[in-house]
Structure formats: C-alpha cells, structure tokens
Amino acid sequence: MIIASDLCKEFEKSYKEGKKTKKEKFLAVNHVSLTAKEGEIVGILGPNGAGKTTLLRMLGSLMTPTEGRVTLMDTEGNEIADDTKKKEAIGYLSGNTKLYPRFSIREYLTFLGEVYEYPKQEIAERIERIIEVLDMSSFADSRIEKLSTGQTQRASIARCLMADPMLYILDEPTLGLDILSADAIIRFMKEQKEKGKTVLYSTHYLEEAQVLCDRIYMICGGRIVAQGTPAQLMEQTGTSNLREAFHAIYDESEREDNNETA
Amino acid sequence: MKRLRTLIRKEVMDVLRDKKTLIIMVVVPLLLYPTIMIGMTLIMSMVAQSQEEKIHTVAYEGSGADTEVVTALEALYTEHSEDLVCELTFEQMKKSDDAQADAWFAASAEEGKNIKVEISYTSTNQDSNYAESALTELLTYYKEDLLKEKLAGQGLDETFLTPVLVESVDSASESESVGMNIGGSIGMMLIVTVLMGAFYPAVDVTTGEKERGTLETLLTLPVSNFQMIMSKYIAVALFACVTAVLSLLALGGSVVFLMVGASTELAAELQGIDISKLLSLVPVLLLAMISVALLITAICMCFCVFAKSMKEANNYSTPVMLIVMFASMMGMIPSAQLDYRTALIPIANISLLIKQIASQQFSFPLAAITITVNSAYSVMIIWILAKMYDSEDILFHDGFKNFQIFKKRSEFMKGTVPGIGDLIMSVVVLLLLVLYVGTAVTVRAPFAGVVVQQLMILGVPLFVTWYMKSDCKTLFSLKKPGKGSVMAGICFYVGTFCLEMLLTGYLVKLFPASTENMNKSYEILMAQPTILIVLVMALMPAVGEEIFFRGLMYGGLREKCGVKWAILISAVIFGAFHVSLVKLIPTAMLGACFAYIVYKSGSIYIGMVLHFLNNAFLLLQMKEPDTFGKILPVLMKEEFALTDMLGFLLVGIVAMVIGIILLKKTGNK
C-alpha cells in the first residue's frame, strides 16, 4: 500500500521581462494526498501540465517532495523507509524510462536480475517465464534499438516484471501503442491486480480508465479536484461516461480558479 | 559490492558496444605512435636518401681565384665523396644563369692575405641546403690541407695550433641523454592519448545516458547515487587504463621497430637507448600511467556530469584538453625536474616522471610520491563528486543547484549564497592558480610569487561574490565588532597561539626535514626589507586569507551545512592551503579559532587584526631574532623544556576557556 500525505513539489520557472530574466516559484504538485491499496488499480487523470508525472515521480522515489511524505507499506503493514528498499518494491515505468539500446532484452533482464541480487538459476528462470508471458521469444535476443514501439513497450513491462514489485507506477503506459500492444498492457495490469498487487497509473484514454480503474484521482493545476470510483464521478457530475465527467469537473475547476484570481 | 560490480559490467558493456569509443580507445593510440614515429622517420629517411642520390650542381664564374679553388675541391671530392651528405658537381656558368645551380661559389684571393670564399644558397630550398652542406664540408678539408702545408713550410707541427686540447666527458650514458631529449615530449603524448581514451566514454556514460533516456530508468533501480557515480567512474577509468597500456605498447613497438629497421637520424639516436635498463622500469611507468589515467578520468567525469547535453559535454573537451596539455608540457621544459615540490603538482609530475624514467635518472621515493599524489587527487575528486551528485537535479532540473557559478551573471538574483559546488570550484580554481601561476612566478622571483599568490587569494572570493551578486556584508561578516568581543577574541587567540606553539614544537621534532625545507624557503624571503615583509606576508594574508577562508568559505558553508561543519571544513582547507606537513594542524587550529571568533562576534575584522598580528609576530621573530630573543626568550628556544611546555599548556587552556566564556557572553546570539 502506498500513502501520500500532503505532497508538494515546488519548481522555479524563469521568464523574460524586457532584457532581464526573472524567476518565479510555483507548486507543480499542490498538497496532494492519496492512497492506493493492494489489489487495486488507481488512475490519475488530468490534462497535460497538471502535475501527474511529477506526482508519480515523487511516489516512485525519483524526486524528493518539497513538503509532505510518501509512505510505502509492505504486505504485513510495516513501513519501508529505506530509499533503496523502496525502489526494490516499486516497478516504475514512464515514457522517459528508456531501455539500453545497445543491449538485447535478455541481456538487459539479466543485468536487472543481478542488480536485484537474485541467484543465477532464478534469473534464468524468471527471464524465460517473462519472455513467454509477454510473447517476446522472437525478438528477445535482438538489440533493443532495433525493436518496434510496441515491442519496446513490452520490453519495458518485462523490466518492471523482473523485480516482481508489490507496487506498479505506470505513467501513460499505453500512449502511442497499437491496439494489440495496448491490450497486452491492459491485460498485464489486470493480472497484477488479480495477484493482489497495487497499480497506480496515469492516462489520457478515459474509456480505458473507465473500465480498468477501481478508483480515480483527477488532477488540475497540481491539485486533486475530484476523486472516487468511475461510477461515483459520473454520478457526481450527472454524466453517463468518464469523458463527460472529466469535462464537467475540469470546467468547474477552471471556473473556481478564475474566481480566485479575480 | 556485488551490485557495484554488476553496474560496472553494464557500463563497460554499454560503452564497448559503441564503435566510436572503440576506435578512439584502441585504434587511435595503436595508430598514433607508429604513424608519428615510424611515418615521420620513414619520410625523413626517404628525403635524405633521395638527396644522397641526387647530384647537386655548384656553379662558379671562373674569374679570380675560383678556378684554382674549384680544381682543388674537385680533387678533394674524389677522395672524400663517400663522407659527404650528397653528390656534387662543379659547373662554370655565367652569374645570370645561377638559377640552374643549387649553390653559387665565388672565391677571391689577395697576395699575402687569406682566400675569401662566398657560398650563395637558398636556405628554404632542400637541394640548395644539401649542396651548401657538402660544399662546406669539402672546404673544411681544403682548409685543413692548406693549413698543414703552411705549418710544414714553417717547420711547425699541428700542436702549434692547439696548445690546449679540451674534452668534456658526459657522465650520463648515451642512453640517458637520449631519453632526456625525447622523454619530455613522449610524456605529453602519452598523457594526451589517455585523455582522448577517457573523454569519450566519460561523455557516453554520463550525458550520453541522460540523452538516451536511460538515466531515469537506472534511477528506478535500487541503486544509490554513490554507487551509480562510482560504477561509471570505475568503468571509464578502466577504459582510460586500457588506452594507457595500449599507448605504452604502441610506443614501445614503434621504438623497437625503428631501432631494428630504419636508418635515419632519429633511429640512430634511438640506437643509443639501453632497452634492457628501460624494460626494468616498465612496471613503474605502467603504474604512473594508470595513476594519471585515474586522475584524468576523474577530471573528465566532473566536467561531463555537469553538462546538460552531449554537445555541451563535447564543448568541455577543449578546456579539459588545454588544462591537461598545459600541465603535461612541464616535461618539455628542459630545466624542469621532478623534485619534492614538483612531485606534488598533478599530471605535470607524471610528465616529469616519464622524462626521468626515459633518462634513467630514476628516484623511487619521488616516483612513489608522484603516483600516490595523482591517485589521491583522483580518489578525492571522485569521492566528493559521488557524494554531491544529486540525481534529481541532474535529471529533472538544469543541473547541479550546487554549481550556480556556471549560470549567466544576469540570471543571478541579488544576495545569492554560493552553493557547496561553487565553494569547491573556488578552492579548486585557487589551488590551480596557486600551483601553476604561483609556482611559475615563485620560481623566477620568490617574493613576487608571494605577492601574486596573496592577490589571487583575495581576487577569487571577490570575483565569486561579484559574479553571483552575493551580499558581501552578510557573507563576509563585514560588521563593526563590539568592544567586549574584541577583548574576548584576543583572549581566545592567545590561548590558541600557546597551544599552537606547543604543537608546532612537537611537530618540528617529529618532521625535522620538512621544517628545514620550510625554513630554507623563508630565508630567501627574509632578505627583503622589514616593512615590505610585514606588508606582503602579514597585512596581505590578513585581508586576503580572511576574506577567502572566513568570508567566502566559512560564510558559504555556514548557510549550507551549519556552523560546526563550516568552522571545521574552512579550518581544514585553511590548513591544507599552507602545503606543509608541519604547518597543517597548527594552521588549521588557527583557522578554527578565527572562524569561531567570526561566529561569535559576527565580525571578520577581529580575525583580520589578529591574523595580521600573528603573522607579523612570527615574521619579526625570524627577521630580528636577537631583538626578539631579549623580549621573549622562550620563543627563541630550539627545544622547549618541560616547564615551558606545561606553561604553554596551562596558559593556553586558561586563555582559551576564558576567551570562549567571554565570546559567549559578549557575542551575538
């Protein structure tokens, strides 16, 4: 289980005013609290620049929050405090987590197995199993730079699977994929949920989120503007699907922001 | 440890799969030396051979004494043609046709006077050059024959002309002097090749990884920043070492090939090298190369880690190349030798060591110091880099927030406090300035060297604060001190001074050689007038060193890591800057004392005055020992008696405790 309490991330942005460069601080993530439990797929939705990636990076221990705290619990409910141990328990995947282009998938997975300090025999077994599950045997020994987008994304999933983490943080995992590859990823998330793992993921595909997510957090301007199950969100906004609900919530939050600035 | 090994293996494999790196690392060194050495000598020998075979024309007009001399020269030519650099033929032609000849010859003789010979040639033309050399040689034979004839006519023998025969005997063997001549340039070539071998992999594993987008992936793994930097460093260092070894092999191969095969001047010179003697020094050479490879890798890593893109990293290659080349050129300066002072200058010491090895003037302790110094510097650099490396800053921001100094000045807001990186940069820049510029001036004029050093110590903090628009008043604690604080400061200083004297007395006994060296260097400076000594060695340090160590260093560190660490670190750097084993701890103690006074009183001025008095006191003690001995006889003693020591200890502790209490009472909270 992962609990984020009152997370903030402050960035500096610079802009030109005449000849002078001025700097201004702003909160990319503004007092966000959320929870994701075992056996749950939690969706993070929001427009571009809403702070989704920054939030997920803080949850994945890649960034330190300016304020607030991320607590990660193991299956027995004990807190994992050590940063390295935290990373062992999290499978983090985003558009920015590229794979070594000069390695083959098999070599890369072997490297990961060694980093996670598994015994040699186990590494080989795991790799075989993952290659089979993700149907990668035809390209497992080619260099990653030669793979197609879909194949590369499957290799990225393989990367996360290698560690067998208890929590998956997936930043737009189906972005730009064909239907077959996207379906493979969705199937993968469902399987992990069935195994009792936690999946936290962000997406722009609302139809996908509507069927997949147990709960959803909607983010706008770094703040959580709505949360609940897809059904609850639709009910709250009086809409019939998540896309319409999203629009309703987004418009409402824009109006509030405008009122505040006025 | 196992994880680190895995990471290193991954880095090595990743770099090895990049063909560009392999070419630069393996092919370049393997080709560079054979190309330069063998290629050049082959070209030279080809030129020489073609000149030897070619018949060069010497023209003469045939008037005056020309014909007579030429006839004699032609006779001599048939006798000596084998010994000349090229073949010659003499042709009589008109002066207007001299363009057809390689050299022009004219001779005139007056009765009872010597024969005047004029050779006209074109020094920029190879054929003309050779003709002139051969002609001059022939004329020498001619001159000798004439002389013999004349001496015989007078009934004298040749000893008449040479009543004294001078013969200088070089104690260096031929092998040693050849090594001395070529050792300097070989050192530079080897070092620069290592740099080439290290730089590309360094760019590839740092900015390359960031640009390929795999750095974020690496950070999702259970790997600490420290492990990551260390693994990258070790991988690149491995490549640099491989380049170093390959360069040595290629160099050795080229030398052997030339000694066996070619027949040119350089080859003839190389014949003089005693290979078996050199071979026994190969392990030392190898260690030296590895230590410099470690250091160069560390330097490359520092530059590459800061770079935002591969393009930017590649831009850094020029300044890095310049720094390394500048330092390694030291070996090419004929008078520069490896000694206990130059052995402390990184990179330059390796180039000097290689020269020493090549000339077989090898000293084991100096080699050990050189290798240790370079290795120690590299460990220090990489340790600091690994500790400071903040993956979040590198990955998601503009780079090191600790290194703001690389930003444009217009981007700074007023009152910026220098980050840890900026402070380290300041120390490094100052150290480099003192080591290279300071040493260069000191060698020529010791006293001017001190002035230049002091100006640099003051200049660096002033530049940093100006560039970063820092608030000097706060950073340097430029505040009028309270009266109470002044008294408390003096009391605390007197205590520290007593303990310092006690410690110095002990250290001098422990390291007599080091003390002697230090005293010798002071002797030269002490020849200056007293007023000048006090001005340059007491007043200037009091201002400059206080501004740098208690202003910039302590002031900057205080903001970033708290007062305790600020006092400690600034004091250690202050001690280390006095490059002396004996002075290190006592000076650090003094530094801590001044920093503590700044902390408690909030003013740098008390420290400045005390620093001035402290230096002036010690200088006068050296300059006017007799007057000083009358006033404070205890300080002039060669060795302290037990009662003296106890006295110092007692006074020291009491004064220090009172000082601390007073400072706490009077100081600002």
String of DSSP letters for B76-141 = HHHHHGGGSSSEEEEEE--GGGGGGSSEEEEEEE-TTSPEEEEEE--TT-HHHHHHHHHHHHHHHH
ipTM of the complex: 0.88
pLDDT given for residue A108 in this prediction: 93
Q: Which residues of A touch B9 (CB under 8 A)?
A: 111
Which of B3, B10, B395 lies at the smallest CB-CB distance from A117? B3
CB atoms within 10 A of CB B72: 16
Least confident of A43-47, B43-47, B615-619: B43-47
- Which pLDDT does position B669 carry in this prediction? 46
State the Rg of chain A over Cα.
20
What pLDDT digit, counting tens, does each position of B516-544 carry? 777 777 777 788 888 888 888 899 999 99
CA distance B65 to A34: 112
Distances (CA, A) of B458 to B463, B549, B552, B586: 9, 10, 10, 22
Question: Who among A23, A92, A117 is closest to B220 (CB)?
Answer: A92
pLDDT at B605: 93
Other beta carbons within 10 Å of B95 = 12
Strands A2-17 and A20-36: antiparallel
In a domain, A141, yes or no: no
Nearest chain B Cα distance for residue A244, angstroms:
34
Chain segment B114-130, per-residue pLDDT in tens: 888 889 898 888 889 88
Least confident of A77-81, B387-391, B452-456: B387-391
- Chosen for mutation from A80, A110, A115, A149 (greatest number of chain B CBs closer than 10 Å) is A115
CB distance A87–B221 less than 8 Å? yes
Chain A nearest-CA distance from B219, in A, is: 7
pTM for this prediction: 0.71
Cβ atoms of A85 and A21 within 8 Å: the answer is: no
Q: Inter-chain contact A62–B392, Cβ cutoff 8 Å?
A: yes
| pLDDT over 70 at B407, yes or no | yes
Q: Please say if the pLDDT value at position B48 is more than 60.
A: yes
Of residues A99, A107, A114, nearest to B217 (C-beta)? A99
Give residue B638's pLDDT: 65
Q: How far apart are CA B187 and CA B195, in angstroms?
A: 12
Contact call for B213 and A97, based on CB within 8 A: yes
Strand partners, A20: A17
Residue A19 lies inside a defined structural domain of this protein: yes
Name the residue range of residue A203's domain.
2-97+167-261
Share of residues in chain B with pLDDT > 90 (%): 19
Contact yes or no for A88 and B222 at CB 8 A: yes
Q: What is the pLDDT of residue B619?
A: 85
Q: Which residues contact B629 (CB under 8 A, 6 or more apart)?
A: B636
Q: In this complex, do A99 and B214 lie within 8 Å of one another by their Cβ atoms? A: yes
Question: Above pLDDT 70, what percent of chain B?
Answer: 93
Tell me whether residues A115 and B212 touch, CB distance under 8 A: no
**Interface of chain B toward chain A, CB-CB under 8 angstroms:** 2-3, 6-7, 9-10, 13-14, 17-18, 212-214, 216-217, 219-224, 391-392, 395-396, 408, 410-411, 413
Cβ-Cβ contacts under 8 Å, A80 against chain B: none
| Alpha-carbon distances, residue B294 vs B105, B227, B328, B375, B427 (angstroms) | 61, 17, 15, 7, 21
3-class SS at A134?
A: coil
Q: Of B389, B4, B11, which Cα lies nearest the Cα of A115?
A: B4
Into how many domains does chain A fold?
1
pLDDT of res. B397? 62
CATH, residue A90: 3.40.50.300
Which tops the pLDDT comparison, B358 or A104?
A104
Q: Which CATH class is domain B54-152?
A: alpha beta
* Full pLDDT tens readout for chain A, 262 residues: 899 999 999 887 767 677 666 667 788 899 999 999 999 999 999 988 888 999 999 999 888 898 999 999 988 888 998 888 888 899 998 888 889 999 999 999 999 999 988 999 999 999 998 898 888 899 999 999 999 888 888 898 888 888 889 999 999 988 888 888 888 889 889 999 999 999 999 998 988 899 899 999 999 989 999 999 999 999 988 988 889 998 998 888 888 878 876 6
Cβ within 8 Å, pair B214-A92:
no
Mean pLDDT score, B484-503: 89
Are residues B220 and A98, on separate chains, in Cβ contact within 8 Å?
A: no
Half-sphere exposure of B342 toward its Cβ, with a 13 Å CA cutoff? Answer: 20
Write out chain A residues lying below 8 Å of B408, CB-based. Answer: 21
Query: Out of A21, A98, A114, whose CB is closest to B213?
Result: A98
Out of A19, A96, A112, closest to residue B216 by CB: A96
- Asked whether residue A229 is assigned to any structural domain, the reply reads yes
For residue B395, list chain A residues with Cβ-Cβ distance below 8 A: 62
Query: Strand, helix or coil at A77?
Result: coil
CATH 3.40.190 boundaries in chain B: 54-152
Instruction: Give mean pLDDT, residues B148-169.
Output: 84
pLDDT over 80 at B110, yes or no: no
B193-212 CB burial, b ≥16 within 10 A, e <16: bbbbbbbbbbbbbbbbbbbb
